Chain A
Amino acid sequence: GENVEQHPSTLSVQEGDSAVIKCTYSDSASNYFPWYKQELGKRPQLIIDIRSNVGEKKDQRIAVTLNKTAKHFSLHITETQPEDSAVYFCAASGVAASIIQGAQKLVFGQGTRLTINP
């Protein structure tokens, strides 16, 4: 089945600097890659997602890039702010069987704890 690796596990950056989180996946059939932000004790919230028919997507300070050949995708946050501090999870859609059934079973990375230092 699908396996997603996420790095780094912790990341500390100065306010205003950029942060980059990287993920690799194993199943070449995966075609959907969302990123979730989870604050302590809160629900995961989608911040951006990308499908395999595009290589890059941007939404204000947040961008995601996808390299299907290398099977990796990255989250880029520019001009970081203290409210960006949280745990970020990447995910990839699940095995082909679930896709046939119509379900995007998500397989998550281990998470990156991002701290923005003022």
Chain B
Amino acid sequence: GAGVSQSPRYKVAKRGQDVALRCDPISGHVSLFWYQQALGQGPEFLTYFQNEAQLDKSGLPSDRFFAERPEGSVSTLKIQRTQQEDSAVYLCASSAGGQETQYFGPGTRLLVL
């Protein structure tokens, strides 16, 4: 079946611009995670949804980062007033349950100039 998909795959933004990154999880997966992966580093947790409920947002680096999953399926990660330090790959993962295997999407590579 179809895996996790993300769009856009690449995004170039000017500093101060707002961006929105989309994640389509595997159909039926109730759990959805966002991670940030800096160049040469492992992914770092940003936030977690169980269905439409955002149960953990402890990894969001600032209040410029906002995530939503209004219908418990597609999720959007929004970054307001982007800064150069926001440049990274943003990975989405979904799982059938909170303690099941996480399947990752291909990521969105964000470059802030």
The complex places the Cα of A44 from the Cα of B91 at a distance, in Å, of 9
Q: Check: A118 CB closer than 8 A to any chain B CB.
A: no
With a cutoff of 8 Å between Cβ atoms, the chain B residues found around residue A107 in the complex are 45
Whether A43 and B99, one on each chain, are in contact in the complex, defined by CB atoms closer than 8 angstroms, is: no
Q: Which of A32, A99, A104 has the most CB of B within 10 A?
A: A104
Whether A46 and B103, one on each chain, are in contact in the complex, defined by CB atoms closer than 8 angstroms, is: yes
With a cutoff of 8 Å between Cβ atoms, the chain B residues found around residue A44 in the complex are 43, 91, 104
Interface size class of B (residues with CB under 8 A): 20 to 34
Interface size class of A (residues with CB under 8 A): 20 to 34
Identify the closest chain A residue to B107 (Cβ).
A43
With a cutoff of 8 Å between Cβ atoms, the chain B residues found around residue A6 in the complex are 42
| A-B residue pair count with CB separations less than 8 angstroms | 73
Q: How many whole Å from A5's CB to the nearest CB in chain B? A: 11
Q: How many whole Å from B100's CB to the nearest CB in chain A? A: 8
Whether B101 and A89, one on each chain, are in contact in the complex, defined by CB atoms closer than 8 angstroms, is: no
**Stretch of B48-56, B60-68, B71-79 that contacts chain A:** B48-56
Whether B45 and A94, one on each chain, are in contact in the complex, defined by CB atoms closer than 8 angstroms, is: yes
Whether B104 and A104, one on each chain, are in contact in the complex, defined by CB atoms closer than 8 angstroms, is: no
Whether B91 and A49, one on each chain, are in contact in the complex, defined by CB atoms closer than 8 angstroms, is: no
* A-contact 0/1 string along B96-110, CB 8 Å cutoff: 011111111111000
Q: How many whole Å from A90's CB to the nearest CB in chain B? A: 9
Identify the closest chain A residue to B95 (Cβ).
A104
Whether B98 and A101, one on each chain, are in contact in the complex, defined by CB atoms closer than 8 angstroms, is: yes
Whether B101 and A49, one on each chain, are in contact in the complex, defined by CB atoms closer than 8 angstroms, is: yes
Given contacts A101-B98, A103-B55, A105-B56, is CB(A43)–CB(B105) below 8 Å?
A: yes
Please list the residues of chain A having a beta carbon within 8 angstroms of any beta carbon in chain B: 4, 6, 32, 34, 36, 42-46, 49, 89, 91, 93-94, 97-99, 101-111
> Would you give 14 A-B contacts (Cβ < 8 Å), ordered by A?
A43-B104, A43-B105, A44-B43, A44-B104, A49-B101, A97-B56, A99-B99, A101-B98, A102-B31, A102-B97, A103-B31, A103-B99, A104-B100, A106-B33
